[in-house]
Structure 1
Amino acid sequence: MLATVGSLLRLRLGRIPCCAPGAPPEVERRPVASLWPRGHPQYSCGGSPGSSEPPGSAEKVHRVPAEHKPSQFDKRILLWTGRFKAMEDIPPRIPPEMIDAARNKARVKACYIMIGLTIIACFAVIASAKRAAERHESLTSWNLAKKAKWREEAALAAQAKAK
C-alpha cells in the first residue's frame, strides 16, 4: 500500500493512506489485512517469526570487532606504506579498514618493485647476450659442446667398462 511522506511516495505493507498525496504525514493510517499468504510465518529483519521487535533488539547480536590488534607484520606494513613514522607511533588497536588499505598499498608497491626488477633483468639479459654475440657464443654452440663432452665421457665409461 502507499503511504505519503512529504512529497515522496513509499510502499508500506499493511497500511493504506487515509489522505490524498501531499497531505501531512501526521495523519493516521489504518492497518489493512496482511498481504502474506496464510500459514506462512512472517520474518522480520531480526529473524524471529512473528515478532514485532526492532531488528537491533535481538538477544544475541553478532558484531564484527571495530578494531584489530596488529601483528608485527602488520606493523611493518603500516610503517612501509607510510601510515606511521615509527613503530612506537602505532596504537595497540587499529581499524581493520586501515590495515586492509595498508596491505593493498603494500601489495601495489611490491608489484611495482617486481615490475622494476623484471625490466632491469631484461636489460641485463640483453647486455649479456650482446657480449656473448661479440664473442661468437650462442646457446646452440654451448649445447653442442656440452653434448660432445657427454659423448666423450660416455665413450670413456664404455671403454673402462669393457676392460
Structure 2
Amino acid sequence: MGSLSGLRLAAGSCFRLCERDVSSSLRLNRSSDLKRINGFCTKPQESPRAPSRTYNRVPLHKPTDWQKKILIWSGRFKKEDEIPETVSLEMLDAAKNKIRVKISYLMIALTVVGCIFMVIEGKKAAQRHETLTSLNLEKKARLREEAAMKAKTE
C-alpha cells in the first residue's frame, strides 16, 4: 500500500505542475486580450530577411582526363570531343554510379566463370586420381620413408 500512496503523491505533483503551466498561459492570453481591447495592438516585428544564396543554375565543374574517361565509359558521351568544357557534378556522380554498377556486374560474372573453371579442373584432377586424400597419403608415405632413412643413417 505504501507504493500506492507514493504514486498518488507523484500524480498530485505532476497535476500541480500542469496546472501552473495552464494558468500562466491563460494569464498571457488574458493580458493580450486586454491589449486588444485597449487599442494597444502591436504588430509583430518583421526581421529583415537574409539574402538567400540559392543558385539559379547548377554549379559546373571542369572534368579531369580521368573523369572524361568515366563519362565515355558510362555511355554518356561517345567521344572525348563531345564532352563540354564544364559538366555538372550530378552528371559526374551519375556516370560514376553507372561505372560502379558495371564493375560489380563484371565482378559477379568473373566469380561465376572462376567457379565453373574450378569445378572443371577439379573433375579433371579426380579423373587423374589427384584427390586431396591421395595427395595427403602420398605425402605422409614420403615423410615416413624419409624418417625411416634418417633413423637408419643415425
Return the offset for 1:62.
9.2
- Report the TM-score when normalising by structure 1: 0.55
Q: Distance in 2 between matches of 1:149 and 1:96?
A: 65
What's 1:97 paired with?
A: 90
Q: Which has the higher contact order (CA 8 A, sep 6+)?
A: 2
Structure with the larger strand share: 1
- Report the TM-score when normalising by structure 2: 0.57
Q: 1:119 to 1:55 in 2, by over 3 A?
A: same
Q: Distance in 2 between matches of 1:118 and 1:90?
A: 34
What's 1:55 paired with?
A: 51
Q: Distance in 1 between matches of 2:147 and 2:47?
A: 88
Query: Which sections of structure 1, spanning at least 5 residues, go unmatched?
Result: 1-29, 35-49
CA RMSD, Structure 1 to Structure 2 (Å): 3.3
Q: Specify the code of the residue in structure 1 equivalent to 2:50.
A: P
Q: 1:70 to 1:129 in 2, by over 3 A?
A: same
Return the offset for 1:153.
6.5
Q: Deviations over 1:66-100 (max 9, x none)?
A: 01121222111111111111111111211000000
Secondary structure at 1:55 match in 2: coil
Aligned length: 112
Q: Does 1:73 align with 2:66?
A: yes
What's 1:126 paired with?
A: 119
Structure with the larger helix share: 2
Report matched runs for 1:1-163 at 5 Å: 32-33=43-44, 51-56=47-52, 66-146=59-139, 149=142
Q: 1:33 to 1:98 in 2, by over 3 A?
A: closer
Query: Which sections of structure 2, spanning at least 5 residues, go unmatched?
Result: 1-40
Q: 1:159 to 1:33 in 2, by over 3 A?
A: farther
Which one has the largest radius of gyration? Answer: 2
Q: What's the % identity of the aligned pairs?
A: 46
